[in-house]
Amino acid sequence: MKKIIGAATATVFGMGAFTTVATAETIVTADVLNVREKPTTESKVVKKVTEGEKLKVIHTEEGWSKIDLNGKEVFVSAEFTKDVYYVTANLLNVRSDASTESEILGRLKTNDVIESTHQVKDGWLQFEYKGKTAYVNVSFLSSTAPVEKKAEEKTKQVAKVQKTVKAKEEAKTQKVTKPKEEVKVQEVTKAKEEAKVQEVTKAKEETKVQEVVKSKEEVKVQEVAKAKEDVKAQEEAKAKEEAEAREIAKAKEEEKAQEIAKAKEEEKAQEIAKAKEEEKAQEIAKAKEEAKAREIAKAKEEEKAREIAKAREESKNNIQSAKRELTVVATAYTADPSENGTYGGRVLTAMGHDLTANPNMRIIAVDPKVIPLGSKVWVEGYGEAIAGDTGSAIKGNRIDVLMGSKSKAMNWGRQTVKVKIL
């Protein structure tokens, strides 16, 4: 079975005239192809050929192939034909470009078939190989499958050509490699000589340095020994003087220490007495402040209780007259102490809800004359809540809605919404 490689429409390049380096077998690819007297679609159709028929092509020019049909020269459109070549070499290199220096993409064997719609140029045929554009030398292609004997002869020719190419490549490689090796040897030799000179020079310098260092060290040792003796004598004399001075100082220090200890005891006694007096005064002041704070807290609680009672009373009086549904302006607020009054450090509603402990409660502040305090309500966009708080600025159809965070309060802002009293 022949292996078919590539596919495309074949045309042969030339300079005005058409030349063919390798003979190809041209086959019709259209179902029916018109054969015309002249290379134009306006000319007379003299015959029709069908798909798979083989044509004897004389040459191809400007998209038209001149063929020999029963001894008569006529024309067919080259677009609807393909050229078929057979590999005659045992192994034929498939290259990435039309050059023997280009990359080898693969190899074809004897009897492999190449189908191409491309042009033969400078002895190379372009075709598609494994999804890539590839080239083969047309010297090793034929229009018919080679027989065994011809294959052997072609193999010998290919071997001869390959041997010649290999010899040229080896000669070229040696020509490039030899100068490089000579340069490399010279560089290595020069490097070794320089290294040897550096080693000798370094050894001499190290010897000289060692002699100088040794001489300096001997002088230094003598100087150090003399200096140590002088230092020792001075230290002994100094030690005696310091011993005498310490004895004198010790006596003075003991005397001074006694005086200081006595003064400290007296000062400590005074501080203890003063501290006791201050502590007693602080306790008295603290007791007064606590008593005053309790009185203030009690007064505030009583006032708050009165307000709650009053609000509840107003809500009770108005509950019968309250509307079931109304439109109000709702403003968001939070349980932040900076926005509310505090009682005992806690933010409380008019009904006593602890918003410090429960900042996310569904609470609205209302005008008790409009929405009874304690009512369960539904606020558009807010949901069910308790009318559990009041405010000095909340009059008429105005309410405040409690939000769990400042960001939520900012998002709500002020809106006109509907309120249903449940």
What mean pLDDT is predicted for residues 58-73?
90
- Note the residue count of the chain: 422
Confidence of residue 11 (pLDDT cuts 50, 70, 90): very low
What mean pLDDT is predicted for residues 245-254?
90
Q: Are the beta carbons of 15 and 119 closer than 8 angstroms?
A: no
The answer for residues whose C-beta is within 8 angstroms of residue 76's C-beta and 6 or more apart is 28, 33, 34, 35, 36, 49, 55, 64, 65, 67
Confidence of residue 258 (pLDDT cuts 50, 70, 90): very high
SS3 string of 17-71?
Answer: CCCCCCCCEEEECCCEEEEECCCCCCCCEEEEEECCCEECEEEEECCEEEEEECC
Lowest mean pLDDT among 1-10, 41-50, 60-69: 1-10
What are the backbone angles phi and psi of residue 56, rounded to the nearest 5°?
Answer: -100, 100
Q: Are the beta carbons of 23 and 143 closer than 8 angstroms?
A: yes
What mean pLDDT is predicted for residues 311-329?
70
**Mean pLDDT of all residues belonging to the chain:** 82
What mean pLDDT is predicted for residues 50-59?
90
What CATH code would you report for 319-421? Answer: 2.40.40.10
Spell out where 118-178 has E strands.
Answer: 120-121, 124-129, 132-137, 141-142
Confidence of residue 370 (pLDDT cuts 50, 70, 90): very high
State how far the Cα of 306 lies from the Cα of 308, in Å rounded to an integer. 5
Please state the pTM of the whole predicted model.
0.31
Q: What integer pLDDT is reported at residue 20 of this predicted model?
A: 42
Would you list the domain boundaries of the chain?
4-146, 319-421
pLDDT digits (tens, 9 = 90+) for 92-146: 999 999 999 999 999 999 999 998 877 678 899 899 999 999 999 999 988 776 6
Residue 320 has pLDDT above 60, yes or no: no
Q: What integer pLDDT is reported at residue 185 of this predicted model?
A: 46
Q: What class does CATH assign to 4-146?
A: mainly beta
Q: Are the beta carbons of 44 and 86 closer than 8 angstroms?
A: no
Q: What integer pLDDT is reported at residue 186 of this predicted model?
A: 59
State how far the Cα of 127 lies from the Cα of 137, in Å rounded to an integer. 11
